Amino acid sequence: MNFRDLTIKMMKAAVFIKPGKMELQEKPIPKVGPTDALIKVTTTTICGTDIHILKGCKGYIIR
């Protein structure tokens, strides 16, 4: 993606729905303000905390 070409309006996001359920959804790309940066994530990983949140373990706040 050429960051000068902002014609792409949507991005993919992993969205927590409820304990045990996440969905990959299309979301609008947020507006970039004068103190913001738009980055393209090409690779990511899952950590142990992510698994606890997905399972709905107590002690993790989902907002």
The domains of the chain are located at 10-55
- Average pLDDT of the chain, as a whole number: 83
The answer to whether 58 and 23 are in contact (CB under 8 A) is no
**Numbers of helices and strands, H then E, in the chain:** 1, 2
Alpha-carbon distance 37 to 20, whole Å?
32
pLDDT of 25 strictly over 80: yes
Q: Which residue has the higher pLDDT, 4 or 26?
A: 26
| Own/partner pairs, 55-58, CB within 8 angstroms, 24+ separation | 55/19, 55/20, 56/18, 56/19, 56/20
For tokens 């070409």, name the residue.
Answer: 5
pLDDT of 3 strictly over 60: no
> What is the structure's pLDDT at 58?
73
pTM of the entire structure? 0.60
pLDDT of 44 strictly over 80: yes
List, for residues 33-43, the tens digit of each pLDDT value.
999 998 888 88
